[in-house]
A and B are shown apart, each in its own frame.
Chain A
Amino acid sequence: MAAKSMTIVMHANDLDKTMAAFILATGAAAKGMDVTIFFTFWGLMAMKKGAADKSKLSKFSMFTGMMKKVMKKNNVATLDELIKDSAELGVRMVACEMTMALMNTPKESLRPEVTEIGGVGTYLDAASESNITLFI
């Protein structure tokens, strides 16, 4: 039997890292797990409206366009698609309230898939009940 719950802190907004976070989130949700992603700092910037298509690789960022073409050729889902799939599979997406204030990121500027706002306590409550926790 698979683990029942996974919590991810998404701190990065690089394409390779956000893709990893959402591939893990959708995969876990597909296995029936309860998944929570807590978006903090640069990770919250990745959840701003329109940000998914502008995301760059963490290394060799000048090759981001080339990597996207290779991904498309290999029928790999886009980040935008994975975020939508996560929402459809019931992944809970929480925005870090402090980051919203620090980076002047009101709720309206975030994607509609981010339905909750919380703090470190929200993350810890979810993580303490999770079998898997990751910081990306």
Chain B
Amino acid sequence: MAEVKISTVGLNCPKPLIETRKAMRKLAAGDILIIEGDHAVSKDEIQQAVKDTGDAVLGVEETGGKWIIKVQKGA
């Protein structure tokens, strides 16, 4: 089971969403992706997109405008 980290810090709409999906497509079922970013709207949009693609949000942390979302690729 692989764990991959990507940073979308500084990127604007819709790049955080795009980079998340690009990374997810390269993973196998059960793999973990950790997305770091600071684009406020994308924090919620990424979580919804991950649910839409049948993957799971494992956790979200936010500190001082920066957020980290941990997701797991579905079957």
Contact = CB atoms under 8 A, between A and B. Distances in A.
A27 B54 contact: no
A32 B52 contact: yes
A88 B14 contact: no
A89 interface: yes
B33 to A, nearest CB: 13
Contact of A32 (B12, B18, B22, B53): B53
B14 A23 contact: yes
Interface of A: 1-2, 23, 26-27, 29-33, 74-77, 85, 88-89
Q: Is the interface of A mostly helix, strand, loop or mixed?
A: loop
Given A75-B10, A89-B22, A89-B25, A27 B17 contact: yes
B18 A89 contact: yes
Contacts of A77: 11-12, 14-15, 18
Given A29-B21, A75-B11, A89-B22, 10 more contacts: A23-B13, A31-B48, A31-B52, A31-B53, A32-B53, A32-B54, A74-B12, A76-B12, A76-B13, A89-B25
Given A1-B52, A2-B52, A30 B21 contact: yes
B12 A26 contact: no
Contacts of B12: 74-77
Interface in B20-74: 20-22, 25, 48-49, 52-54
